[in-house]
Chain A
């Protein structure tokens, strides 16, 4: 006679399954493995500086050693975005769409509901009020200006939606930490690829920064000095 699966009985067995689940035996050594990879503070500029120095060293080594590339991906990143160096020709952005293609427009109030906080005061920036506000399939909202083909993607620093680890591919040699903006900031200059689980898009110079639990990604053709002025006005 097979016992029926009452709610209580099933809960008891499931709890026991959890206790007996076959998990990776490396569990026992995991904290030691993590310890060697931590730096003094998650948001410290010093850590980012170390990361940039490592990235520069990797470039000096002509990106020849795959394990070193993986180290760059581990070390250089901000919020939900990580920088990953991949060999050519996979990293050729020519022919890819740009970040603002195929999006759904939003009203500013709908964008604020989606973000669960107010939009920045765009009137304080040289760009003025945006030409377009749209929802991003990955999460957050995209604000766009025709001036300099400028876009600002605002999203949670730790994306809640599944499968979101943003990758800036073939950008390790152009990525640098930046002081004086948000909690932590990073610039990436030059053409590269932004890859999300949803899309693979062509990207130019960007300024990335986090403030509290929000991440900002400003992309523009206006040049880095002008972009930094905009970013600091938004911060």
Chain B
């Protein structure tokens, strides 16, 4: 559901209001950095990608449908810019996503359904074995909590295609987790 506030901001941006545009960027910058990081394969260079994507978004903002929202459209621009950047720099496809620095103890966080740092470590290591497209579709659904329609907007495909792509990606992730844990036994 797109808030009236965001619809209003998009319309102001389309009238040339740079302040409104910065408000939108501010609201979605963490998502933009995560998507750029996932597509690039690491946090290195994400800042540059997000800035370039934001300039491109400003240039093309007339094409945003205010009723469908800014977020998925902007994340699509970020994802495409990151892919271009990765290719132009000849970045390798392998992913080396990392978790942010954690406290020394491996204590569950009660706010996150007793998810521990070790849980996160296992999952991100498994994700690092997946292909880029699988990682992106998982990130859009589970990191960004996008709906299937929003994911379709980001990925430029039909909502039904998103559903099957996500299902396959999750199956591969689960299989990788089982494989990795077999090795830990």
Contact = CB atoms under 8 A, between A and B. Distances in A.
Nearest to B120: A17
A40 B34 contact: no
A62 interface: no
Contact of B62 (A19, A27, A43): A43
B124 A17 contact: yes
Q: Is the interface of B mostly helix, strand, loop or mixed?
A: helix
B63 A212 contact: yes
Kindly state the interface size class of chain A when it binds its partner: 35 or more
B55 interface: yes
Interface in A17-52: 17-24, 26-27, 30-31, 33-35, 37-44
A40 B16 contact: yes
A209 to B, nearest CB: 13
B75 interface: no
A159 B50 CA distance: 17
Contacts of B18: 35, 38-40
A213 B60 CA distance: 8
A18 B143 contact: yes
B91 interface: no
A129 interface: no
Interface stretch (A5-13, A105-113, A147-155): A5-13
A34 B51 contact: yes
B10 interface: no
B33 A27 contact: yes
B148 to A, nearest CB: 15
Interface residues of B, number: 71
Interface string B141-185: 011110000000000100000000000001001100110010011
Nearest to A77: B59
A77 B184 CA distance: 52
B174 A14 contact: no
25 contacts: A2-B185, A10-B173, A10-B177, A13-B119, A14-B138, A15-B145, A16-B115, A16-B120, A17-B120, A17-B123, A18-B142, A21-B37, A21-B97, A21-B99, A22-B43, A22-B99, A23-B43, A30-B50, A37-B51, A158-B60, A158-B63, A160-B80, A163-B84, A165-B81, A212-B63
Q: List the 9 closest pairs (A to B, CB-CB), nearest first.
A: A18-B143, A160-B156, A41-B16, A14-B142, A213-B63, A26-B47, A24-B46, A23-B33, A16-B115
